[in-house]
Amino acid sequence: MDMEDDIMEKTILIKLSGESLSGSIGHGLDFEYIKKICMEIKKVHDKGTRIGIVCGGGNFLRGRDAHEMDRETADYVGMMATVMNSLVLKDMFRQVGCEVYNQSGLYVGIIDKIDSDKAKRALDEGKIVVFGGGTGKPFFSTDTGASLRAKDIDADMIIKLTNVDGVYDKDPNKYDDALMYHTVSYQEVLDKKLGVMDMEAIQMCKDNKIEIVVMNIDTPDGIKRVLAGEEIGTIVK
């Protein structure tokens, strides 16, 4: 089996933060940068990889950070932000030649609600499935939503694209001596409360044996190289 065959056999769930969609702008939407992300994802999709995507909403609002608002209301606003981002991704993917099917954990009328059977059929038809709306319920992060959706589509792994190179023992943006893990167990992440994903999301991945790769979103051909077996970023398993 060659590298291309190995890539084609994968089903992956990509977790995109809302902040990543703001690119160099720092808030809102950087359309040029979003199209660049879509082109990178298209490279592996064109090889036959089945791809689901969960996007956050932090480029507009993250519920837990909106201290001036009631938390439940803020979470619903944050979920609406993820729906907006999912529609933007659909349009950007269309522009680069990929067909997308959207689902949402939050009912909004113009997008189908979460349905794992429909999502898997769309993947079988060669579509990228973009999930918005988080879990549809307040007090849960899009990390938890990503773990749920990964289970729904029988994903082999979650690839979390971030602004750092992997998982560190402490915040590399604050500490120059922060050390990066190349491989770490689910249990170590839970015990040390490493900032990979929310603890609920990590536990869900552990229970369902879904491998997580955390890597820098700007790594050239990063997703393709990870799927080909190259050690990039941090593997949680």
* Parent domain of 134: 3-236
Label residue 216 left, alpha or beta by phi (over 0 means left) and psi (-120 to 50 means alpha). beta
Task: Give the per-residue pLDDT at 66.
Answer: 77
Distance separating alpha carbons of residues 165 and 184, to the nearest angstrom: 14
pLDDT, mean over the chain:
93
CATH of residue 123's domain is: 3.40.1160.10
Domain count across the chain: 1
pLDDT of 43 > 90? The answer is yes
pLDDT of 3 > 70? The answer is no
**pTM strictly above 0.85:** yes
Q: What does the pLDDT average to over 52-66?
A: 86
> Interior CA angle at 164 toward 19 and 221, to 5°?
90
- Tens digits of residue pLDDT in 165-202: 999 998 888 899 999 999 999 999 999 999 889 899 99
Read off the tokens for 145: 């939503």
Q: What does the pLDDT average to over 56-81?
A: 87
DSSP 114: P
Neighbour-count burial for 191-230, b at 16+ CB within 10 Å, e otherwise: eeebebbbeebbbbbbeeebbbbbbebebeebbbbbbbee
Q: Determine the distance from the C-alpha atom of residue 15 to the mean position of all C-alpha atoms in its chain, rounded to a whole number.
A: 0
Residue type, 151: K
